[in-house]
């Protein structure tokens, strides 16, 4: 509220935006990075685009890592969801791919390391919906003298 013309929305290829460096205060991404083969390239591009101290928010699907959520979610996510999702969507791949892409994405601690390696600081992961989604939050280095 009240930001009006201070917000500019842009659409671009996430891998090479051709936008000016250090101009964005915030970058958000949802359900994207697990579908890209070179996450480090994309994270570096995000780092380049953000101003020092700018914030990065990434929302990704995940497979629960703990307790009952992991045990209860496993049969649904690994077997039922691909079977019925593919059947209802009339594809033989969409929901199987979803399962595979979620399992292939690094665990939260590993992805935080990737973010840090790309120059982000104060990285954290917030598990949502019993660990079936994770919100990653990071700050572009350089805003407070940190790398």
Could you report the per-residue pLDDT of 22-32, keeping only the tens digit for each?
999 999 999 99
The residue-averaged pLDDT of 4-25 equals: 84
Handedness of CA 94, 27, 44, 117 (dihedral sign): negative
State the pLDDT at residue 132: 94
User: Mean pLDDT score of the chain, rounded to an integer?
Assistant: 90
Is the pLDDT at 146 greater than 70? The verdict is no
Rounded to an integer, what distance in angstroms lies between the CA atom of residue 51 and that of residue 46? 10
**Alpha carbon 92 to chain centroid distance?**
25
Rounded to an integer, what distance in angstroms lies between the CA atom of residue 112 and that of residue 116? 6
State the pLDDT at residue 145: 46
The residue-averaged pLDDT of 9-24 equals: 85
Is the pLDDT at 96 greater than 50? The verdict is yes
Between 92 and 51, residue with greater pLDDT: 51
Rounded to an integer, what distance in angstroms lies between the CA atom of residue 46 and that of residue 34? 15
Is the pLDDT at 147 greater than 80? The verdict is no
The whole-model pTM stands at: 0.87
Could you report the per-residue pLDDT of 102-145, keeping only the tens digit for each?
999 999 999 999 999 999 999 999 999 999 999 999 999 886 54
């Amino acid at each position: 509220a009240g930001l009006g013309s201070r917000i500019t929305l842009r659409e671009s290829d996430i891998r090479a935006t051709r936008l000016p460096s250090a101009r964005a205060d915030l970058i958000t991404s949802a359900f994207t990075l697990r579908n890209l083969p070179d996450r480090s390239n994309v994270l570096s591009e995000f780092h380049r685009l953000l101003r020092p101290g700018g914030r990065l928010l990434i929302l990704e699907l995940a497979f629960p890592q703990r307790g009952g959520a992991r045990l209860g979610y496993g049969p649904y996510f690994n077997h039922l969801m691909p079977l019925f999702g593919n059947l209802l969507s009339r594809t033989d791949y969409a929901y199987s791919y979803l399962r595979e892409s979620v399992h292939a994405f690094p665990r939260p601690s590993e992805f935080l390391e990737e973010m840090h390696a790309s120059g982000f600081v104060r990285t954290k992961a917030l598990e949502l919906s019993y660990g079936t989604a994770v919100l990653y939050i990071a700050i572009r280095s350089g805003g407070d003298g940190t790398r």
